[in-house]
Amino acid sequence: MNFKIFLVAIFLLTISSTSFAQTEKGRFVLSGKTGLNFLFTHITTGIDNVQTGKSKSNEYDYTLGAGLFIADNLSFGVAGTYSYNYSKIESESIIQNITQSFTIIPQLQYYFQLEGKLKPVVFMGGGYVWLQERDSRVATTFSSTMYTLSGPSFAGGAGFSYFVTPCVSFDLGIQYSYAKLKDKLGFEQFQKQDQVAGTMGVSVFF
């Protein structure tokens, strides 16, 4: 039911707009996107046609954002990203790893004004990320290690928005992100993350 309401809202926003100039000061934008690293992988290993192990993994992320145009073509907003990664390796023992993270980043985004439906876009921002990682190993005994880390995160990127209607665009881009995380319990566990990824999504302007 909520999905139907969302579709109706997009339709009403679409028919209520009369021009492609949707990036003026005072307007709002809602966006959703996912990384192009949406993967499901299965691998079997062996020697001389004898299977010795197998592994599988999957990962995805999804971002929701909202912004207000504080000047023509320039919006200020907040984006939240949820990421999930699961891997499992089976050989003499079973190793499973699950990593989940949530990132909040206030950001500035600028649309270059061009004739037609295609607009180049750049953005940059900084915020905070929370990450939880569980490592489970199964053999004759069972143990599970949980890490909870957090720290500052920075991101920037560029891409294109193609306006398929006066207030709906399909977005394609590439972004770089960096985060430095430390264990929240004060242990010496830490992570530094550098990532370059492609993204695709949809934005609604009103």
Please report, for the domain that includes residue 101, its CATH number: 2.40.160.20
pLDDT tens-digit map of 17-53: 434 457 889 899 999 998 876 655 555 545 555 555 6
Residue 167 is assigned to a structural domain of this protein: yes
Residue 134 is assigned to a structural domain of this protein: yes
Domain, as residue range, for 41: 26-205
Residue 137 is assigned to a structural domain of this protein: yes
* CB proximity list for 103: less than 8 A, separation 6 or greater: 80, 81, 83, 127, 128, 129, 130, 153, 179
pLDDT tens-digit map of 91-142: 667 778 888 999 999 999 999 988 888 999 999 999 999 988 887 654 434 4
Number of independent structural domains in the chain: 1
Cα 184 to Cα 143: distance, rounded to the nearest angstrom: 21
Residue 17 is assigned to a structural domain of this protein: no
Residue 163 is assigned to a structural domain of this protein: yes
The pTM for the full model equals 0.74
Residue 109 is assigned to a structural domain of this protein: yes
Bridge partners of 120?
160
Cα 152 to Cα 179: distance, rounded to the nearest angstrom: 6
Residue 12 is assigned to a structural domain of this protein: no
Helix (H) / strand (E) containing 117: none
**CA–CA distance from 61 to each of 45, 154, 201, 204 (Å)?**
28, 17, 12, 20
Residue 21 is assigned to a structural domain of this protein: no
Q: Pull the structure tokens for residue 67.
A: 């912004």
